[in-house]
A = this chain, B = another copy of it.
C-alpha cells in the first residue's frame, strides 16, 4: 500500500518544471517524553510519513528519487544496550523486509548518501495545516544548505494525494469503521441510567482494542449525557466524561478507533433509558432527516458548502414543525438563525488524520458567516474522497441567548417553546462516507432510525459486514 502511495506522489512530480535527478526528502515523527520526566508517550507516526512509508518506529527519515521511484528508508542507529530494554535490534535488512522499501540505511548516513545522489533539487515538506494553523516540521541534515531546496511543492502535492483515497486505504478505513460501529452498538446495549459517562468511553475503547486490535483512538472520546451533549468538544481534561447518566438524559457519543493510523469518526445519539421521549424523538428525527438528505445529495461534483446549507434547511423545516422557529426554511438559513442550533460544519475529510488534510486548497477562502466559517472543507466532491457527514442540533444556552437578544433572529424564535429545551443537550449523527462514481458509500453501520436504536438498546441483533453482533 505505501509503495503505491509513494508512486502516487512521485507521479505528481513527473512534470516539466521538475528537474532530472531530484528527490523527495521527509522525516518521520520522534519519540517524546512528557514534560521533564521519562514518561514516554506511546509513539504514533506522523501522518505524511505514515502515508509514504507506514513505519511504526520513531526517529526515521526517507528519500524517494523521483526519476526512478527508488525509496530509501533511514533508521536510527541504536546502541547495543537498547536490546535489553526494547528487544532485538532490527537490522537494515529486517526493516527492508518489514516495510518493503528499496533500501534501508542509517539516519547518520543521510549526508553521505545525499552526496552520492547529488540531487538537482531536494523537495522537503512544509506547509500550514488548515485545521490547526500549525506548520509541519521540515526534514533537515547537516549540509542541506549546500543543495537547492524546495520546501513548498511537496506539501501541496501530498495533500492532493491524501484527499483521494486508494482502494487499499479504503479497505483499512472500512475495517476500522466496522470495528467502531460494533463498539458503538455494544455501548448502546450496555448504557443505562446510573452509569458514569466514562464507563461508556471505557467500553468503547476496550471493544475496539480487544476485538479489533485498535490500540489508538482517533481522538479523545466525547461521551456527554444530558446538558453535556451540547458541548461540542466535551470529554477534555477539564470535563472528563464524569457525569452520572440520568433517567431522562439523551446521550451523544462521538468516538472512533484508529487502525494502522487510519481513523474513524462516528457519533451516535440515544436516550439513556433506551426509549425516546417525544421531544427527544423530534430533535433526533430532525437531525436524521438532515443526515438522510445530505447522504442522498452527496456525489461527485456536489459542493460541500451547498450540502452544509442543505442540512440547515432540513433542520429549519423540523424546528418550524416543532414550534421552535417560525418563517421560511431558506430565510432562517440566510438570517443565520439555524446556525444557532448547529454552529459547526457539516463534516470534514477523514483519513490518516481525523480532520484530514485538504479542506482548503490554495486560493480558497473561509466564510465569515456563523456555521459556514466552521466548515473544514470547501471543495467540490470527487470520487474517492472520504468525509464525515455529521449534522447536529444543540440547545446551547449562550447561542439561544444570542438569538433571543438579536432583533432580527428573535422574530423567528418562539421563546417559550425554545426555553423548554434548555438543559436538553443535543443530538448529532455522524457517518463516515466514501464518495463513489454515482453517489455515496456509507462505511458506518450503526442503528440510525428511532426504531433501530430502540430495538438494539433493548438487546436486538445488529449486523455488521454480514456478521450478527
Instruction: State the interface size on chain A (CB cutoff 8 A).
Output: 68
- Assembly stoichiometry (copies): 2
Given contacts A84-B343, A202-B209, contact A355 B236 (CB under 8 A): no
Task: Identify the stretch in A37-45, A285-293, A298-306, A316-324 within 8 Å (CB) of chain B at 4 or more residues.
Answer: A37-45
* Interchain CB contact under 8 A, A129 and B40: no
A451 within 8 A of B: no
Q: Which of B203, B210, B228, B398 contacts A199 (CB 8 A)?
A: B210
* Interchain CB contact under 8 A, A237 and B44: yes
* Interchain CB contact under 8 A, B199 and A233: no
Beta-carbon nearest neighbor of A41 in chain B: B41
The proximity string for A residues 34-64 relative to B, scoring 1 for CB distances below 8 Å and 0 otherwise, is: 1111111111111100000000111000000
A408 within 8 A of B: no
Cα distance A343–B84 in the bound complex, in angstroms = 8
* Interchain CB contact under 8 A, A36 and B205: no
Shortest distance between the CB of A403 and any CB in chain B (Å): 13
Beta-carbon nearest neighbor of A86 in chain B: B233
The proximity string for A residues 198-226 relative to B, scoring 1 for CB distances below 8 Å and 0 otherwise, is: 11011101100110010100011000000
Residues of B within 8 A of A399 (CB): 84
A134 within 8 A of B: yes
Listed by A's residue number, 30 A-B pairs whose Cβ atoms lie within 8 Å are A33-B134, A35-B136, A36-B128, A36-B129, A36-B132, A37-B132, A37-B355, A38-B129, A38-B131, A40-B219, A43-B236, A43-B237, A43-B238, A44-B237, A45-B237, A56-B237, A57-B238, A58-B238, A83-B398, A84-B231, A84-B343, A84-B396, A85-B233, A86-B239, A87-B231, A87-B238, A201-B209, A202-B206, A202-B209, A205-B205
